[in-house]
Amino acid sequence: MDAFKIVTDEAWHAQFTYEVLRSVRNRTRIAPVFPETPTFTSELARIHEELPSQIRGLDEMLFAIVSETLISSVLDELPQDKRLPEGVRDMVADHAVDEAKHHSYFSTLLRFLWPAMTPRERELAGPYIPRLIFAFLEPDYISTALGLRAAGLTDDEVEQVVTDVYARDKVVDGIRRGAAPTLQYFVEAGALEHGATLEAFQETGLII
């Protein structure tokens, strides 16, 4: 029952987000400069291709658990940003309310899923979790650069802004903050008891 409701919520999120995008474009007559495919979508497709065949099919479930339990800075901070039009802030705030419900559904799902996997499946899947977290939370540098370029900055200026704003330490700190609940659920599920999984989390800086 709850899963059906979430599917309905997500279809609605896609619809109203698309409607807002379209009306911004129509009213401002400015075409979006972002690429058709966001960077995270290509990264997820790459992960899907690389996954060992034994855990194919589990990946989409894990994608959903990771993305639905993260706290994205867009949903969290954007509604408070007074520089943005109210309609945009309200739209994102509505989305955030639904996502809070999805969060509890997917954290519960993980509690059932992880123990139901075989030890081998857990060992194979675990090390991919940090990559999934980064795919969803790492800033989209390409889109940012295109946006800055469209705002009139030169190539050199764009590079300088991106390097300054997205210093690696700061980026990783931000991802660690956003991923804190997700990490907690995977720890509780026992995912980090496996050495390779723990190492993958340490290497990416998600655990220090």
Closest to Fe ion by CB, 11 or 31? 11
Contact call for residues 181 and 103 (beta carbons, < 8 A): yes
The nearest distance, CB 132 to Fe ion, in angstroms, is 15
Nearer to Fe ion, 10 or 140 (CB): 10
Alpha helices in 151-204 (DSSP H): 155-165, 168-189, 195-203
Judged by CB, which is closer to Fe ion: 91, or 175?
91
What whole-number distance in Å separates Cα of residue 208 and Cα of residue 176? 10
Which C-beta is closer to Fe ion: that of 185 or that of 201?
185
Closest CA to 99 of 12, 170, 30, 188: 12
Site of interaction with Fe ion (CB under 5 A): 10, 13, 68, 99, 102
Smallest distance from the beta carbon of 114 to Fe ion, in angstroms?
20
Query: What's CA 13's distance to the chain center, in Å?
Result: 15
Count of CB atoms within 10 A of residue 160's CB?
Answer: 13
| Least Å from the CB of residue 83 to Fe ion | 23
HSE-up (13 A, CA, CB side) for residue 97: 5
Q: Is 148 helix (H, G, I), strand (E, B) or coil?
A: helix
Choice between 103 and 194, CB closer to Fe ion: 103
The tokens describing 107, both together, are: 């954290």
Q: Please, what is the minimum distance in Å from the beta carbon of residue 10 to Fe ion?
A: 5
Q: Measured from the CB of residue 27, what is the shortest distance to Fe ion in angstroms?
A: 24
